[in-house]
Amino acid sequence: MAFRIIASQCTQCGACEFECPSGAIKFKGEAYVIDPEKCTECKGEFELQQCASVCPVPKTCIPA
Amino acid sequence: MSSPMISLKSLTSTTTMNQLLATAKSGACASSSCGSPAKPEDVDSATWEKIKDHPCYSEEAHHYFARMHVAVAPACNIQCNYCNRKYDCANESRPGVVSERLTPDQALRKVIAVANEVPQLSVLGIAGPGDGCYDWKKTKATFERVASEIPDIKLCLSTNGLALPDHVDELADMNVDHVTITINMVDPEIGAKIYPWIFHDHRRFTGLEAAKILHERQMLGLEMLTARGILTKINSVMIPGVNDEHLVEVNKWVKERGAFLHNVMPLISDPVHGTYYGLTGQRGPRAVELKTLQDRLDGGARLMRHCRQCRADAVGLLGEDRGQEFTLDRIPGEVRYDASKRETYREVVARERGDHVTAKSEAIGMVKAAGSSGLLLVAVATKGGGRINEHFGHAKEFQVYEASAIGINLVGHRKVEQYCRGGWGEESTLDDVIAALEGIDILLCAKIGDCPKDQLTEAGVRVTDDYGYDYIETAVSALYAAEFGLEPLAATA
């Protein structure tokens, strides 16, 4: 029940961070990471996961 | 028409304040035209006040004033086929080179450092990578912080328009009086070929639906800006076979909605940048195709012809990029704004400019009055101030002026490799310069050696340094007169 970010593909644009309805995405050290404790996969909020929908690089925000 | 030549160069190189003042004072204004309003005839005075210091909005201003961009808003809500987000936004910056991304605080430090060292600085822009209206919090924080430290700096924003309607009121409140919207289509069928997807209202849209939403939001945003008196520039990327013909229609739509300026830019689609267009072999337009389209659009919205497709973190006059002098690691942790250099520079420019405008209008008047059907394409080596003041061997670009029955107009520029490096000319570079000057009748520069001069002449490019340090238009009008057997003006400066 969580998504994760493939750091090597991430362009660090940060769109996922402010689109995440759960506040689960933070910039830590050198990369954006999703806190699996907080991630709800947007269930109950949106039809599709916001991080994956806004991410410009395919297959970068994926199910953990 | 004779005024002492004031060296703008000495004001703009990094120097001490005392030197700066001494230089400024030595150029006492002896011209009878001093203080004349340096205003082109085709805009009203309120508009002129807004654009007179903006190098992108006023071709006249681009001789004197500089812009800087800060990359603070990397998030984007659109995917464009000419952009590869792994690198940089290919629309607003030269692709393939990753810009330095800044926090609003870092951006403030950088703007102050540049304002202290580059007295020509008049405009701060946020222009990608990413979209400033979408990544709004960072854009807003940056504008607010800079405006409170440097109140007279013009704030400028470039956007794809999707999130624009949400922020027009805040833009107006923050005195952002220049906004550029990239509009490549008004027909969603064509839009679907340019934009694979958009992110709007918390979901991703694709195809026709995406293009339709984008189109409606762009038109709404433009109308809202016009209603609030914010000047808009429309950037369009010319994509041969996709939207090249269609841009005539785009021009009509944006003009009807009050766009001030239309800038048609050539698609950059080098495969190494990894964009969709680059990888699928979509070509960009040739210089002559771009010019033909621009000529067709003349008479619609005012056209920008002096665009250099600068990097998102460019610093300096258009056509130069001093960005590398101001990377974060070169800026001290604490910087304080010192207004003195910018103020002195503005005083000198105000004087020099009045003189230039008079010289320019005399020269243009003469060419128009001549009633000749002749057409002359002149390339000019210049480093600003509206004068022929660059040595041939030092030029990295030539500005192209066209003299004809409609006057003397800047119609473009040709980028070249610098011919002279460390005192020696490169033979192979000269061949490239000659190739870049295809179609040019005469090349003007401040100085040129006998050797390159002979070779250029042999290759069919006439070149002269007889008009070194003259105003560009004055020299062009004299050439035009000589070429078509008219009575020339007395030389100035």
Contact A54 B204 (CB under 8 A): yes
Closest to B399 measured CA to CA, from B130, B63, B151:
B63
B 48-87 → A contacts, CB under 8 A: 74-77, 79, 85-86
- Residue ranges of chain A whose CB lies within 8 Å of a chain B CB: 11-15, 18-19, 46-48, 50, 53-54, 56-57
- Measured distance CA(B352)–CA(B356) in Å, rounded: 6
Per CATH, the number for B340-483 is: 3.30.420.130
Kindly list the residues from chain A whose CB atom is less than 8 angstroms away from the CB atom of residue B101: 12
- Please state which CATH class domain B34-330 belongs to: alpha beta
Question: How are beta strands A25-28 and A31-34 bridged, if at all?
Answer: antiparallel
Alpha-carbon distances, residue B260 vs B92, B120, B297 (angstroms): 19, 24, 14
Domains of chain A: 3-63 (3.30.70.20)
Closest to B132 measured CA to CA, from B192, B187, B70:
B70
Which among A19, A46, A56 has CB closest to B79?
A56
> pLDDT tens for residues A8-63?
889 889 999 999 999 999 998 888 999 999 999 999 999 999 999 999 999 999 99
Contacts for B283 with CB less than 8 Å, ≥ 6 apart: B240, B267, B269
CA distance A32 to chain B (A): 13
Contact B74 A12 (CB under 8 A): yes
- Measured distance CA(B479)–CA(B411) in Å, rounded: 17
Kindly list the residues from chain A whose CB atom is less than 8 angstroms away from the CB atom of residue B203: 46-48, 53
pLDDT score at B299: 73
Mean pLDDT by 10 residues, chain B (493 residues): 46 46 38 39 73 75 83 92 70 45 91 90 87 96 95 93 97 92 97 97 96 98 96 94 96 94 89 86 90 84 73 69 82 88 86 82 89 91 88 91 91 85 73 88 93 89 92 93 72 47
pLDDT score at B249: 95
Residue count of chain B? 493
The reported pTM is: 0.77
Contact B298, B324 (CB under 8 A): no
pLDDT score at B49: 75
What is the interface pTM, i.e. ipTM, of the complex?
Answer: 0.95
Residue in A closest to B74 by C-alpha:
A13
pLDDT score at B99: 57
Contact A48 B203 (CB under 8 A): yes
pLDDT score at B52: 77
Q: Where are the domains of chain B?
A: 34-330, 340-483
- Measured distance CA(B393)–CA(B462) in Å, rounded: 16
